[in-house]
A and B are shown apart, each in its own frame.
Chain A
């Protein structure tokens, strides 16, 4: 295998190289490697889910002229009901099991020349270590900017951007 000067014979070198490459391939095949592509898929699933929930919450449930749940909750500044509906939306599955997604929502609106963003509802405080995705939905509500606790203010429509950060626990 080795001559008197310590050199490998060529054919044996090739054989050793093939064995090493094959071994590496086997090892990599048998383990899950988390690639950037996988991360993108996970984010896409979360974004789609969050978008679906906000979109369906913004549809009037029974009549074209009625308010949607999202308009109602923002208009009434009702974070408790928003939390219940949104958590059900993102965590309900078709079986008995539920998911464990968490969120933090804020509302952004324009007051004259100022753009004001106020926290609205959340299921967990964010620590900064979450790998969150962002979903948004525009909604037209009868409210002041920033939101007043007194409920809807007729004749005072504001376009508001509901922004939700969504992450897996």
Chain B
């Protein structure tokens, strides 16, 4: 600056360059800060995406959890996607079968989950935990969560499987106690797929939230008060046979679907059929072989998809009209009365008779880093 207070051209040029540079840098600052937070934003986005995939999508194929339809080998080697929702129309309502399959030990952390649920080019680590109301144990897969991670929490409902308890009131009401004094007493349960899936007058049939699907869901039958169906307290009873029967349009009379179940090998069920579990008199260990002595109650749990492969007709298509039966055969030590529905007909596993599926509260937390 000269004595006349005039600005020099040098100063003007320099100041202009400085101002332009300053404005340019100022416009870059938001992006500059965003880059600093890029990792955190990315982790949160991946956690959110994983939460949506798991809680709002049924996965692909939709019955990926069904071991009868898709073997471990198929799931491990094919391009499937995990999803725990019952269907795409029921977000936030999870299938207990899918949950059990998702947290089972046949999948290895992290690789099987990275390619089927978390996705992304970067190999994210994660922890996915689920707490279902009423359960003491938290289901969890993944590592210990570090200090910095992306996070999402989802509140869900979990659809529990149906079950039926056939006790003395039901036995008397449906006249399922034999008046004949004999030593052999059959008892048959019909899993009526027509009534469970095709009864349009029942809104539960078409609503996946409350539907009982005998081809895919876990099914449970509890026989109780058996001692009270006997006339003589000194009679001993044993379960000697368990037959799985089916009736199809081409073969209407119930025919054996698989050979008589006398031996239970739960680690290697016959023909890839999911296992069944049989418990007697409150024992926590399932029965391994038949015959087995029975005092007062028998519980039978058919794993999800137990009937799936038996529902195919002669054209190798799943026939929804196929009716499945489970026939118990009890042997008594002497002639006596007992649970027996030969005359009254099979007990029908339908919405009116069973404890229907219920929705339990649950919360899922997903951490990604």
Contact = CB atoms under 8 A, between A and B. Distances in A.
A38 interface: yes
Interface in B10-45: 30, 32-34, 36-37, 40-41, 44
B154 A52 contact: yes
Contact of B363 (A61, A64, A94): A94
A95 B15 CA distance: 61
A93 B204 contact: no
A10 interface: no
Given A56-B156, A62-B358, A94 B130 contact: yes
A93 B363 contact: yes
Given A52-B155, A56-B155, A44 B48 contact: yes
Given A45-B151, A64-B207, A28 B36 contact: yes
A155 interface: no
Contacts of B320: none
A59 B209 CA distance: 9
A39 B32 CA distance: 17
B92 interface: yes
Nearest to A33: B33
B36 A29 contact: yes
B155 A94 contact: no
B165 interface: no
B155 A38 contact: no
B40 A38 contact: yes
A140 interface: no
B41 A41 contact: yes
Given A33-B37, A49-B155, A92 B204 contact: no
Contact of B356 (A63, A90, A92): A63
B81 interface: no
A61 B93 contact: no
B89 interface: no
Interface string A55-94: 1100111111100000000000000000000001110111
Interface string B344-361: 000000000000111101
SS of A interface (majority): helix
A35 B37 contact: yes
Nearest to B207: A64
Contacts of B91: 55
Contacts of B361: 56, 88-89
A133 interface: no
B34 A93 contact: no
A37 interface: yes
Contacts of B358: 61-62
Interface of B: 30, 32-34, 36-37, 40-41, 44, 48, 51, 91-93, 129-131, 138, 140, 151-157, 203-204, 207, 209-210, 356-359, 361, 363-365
Interface of A: 28-29, 33, 35, 37-38, 41, 44-45, 48-49, 52-53, 55-56, 59-65, 88-90, 92-95
Can you list the 4 inter-chain pairs with the closest CB atoms, starting with the nearest?
Answer: A52-B155, A64-B203, A94-B131, A94-B129
Given A88-B361, A93-B153, 6 more contacts: A28-B36, A38-B40, A45-B151, A53-B155, A56-B92, A64-B203
6 contacts: A35-B33, A41-B41, A55-B92, A60-B359, A63-B356, A64-B204
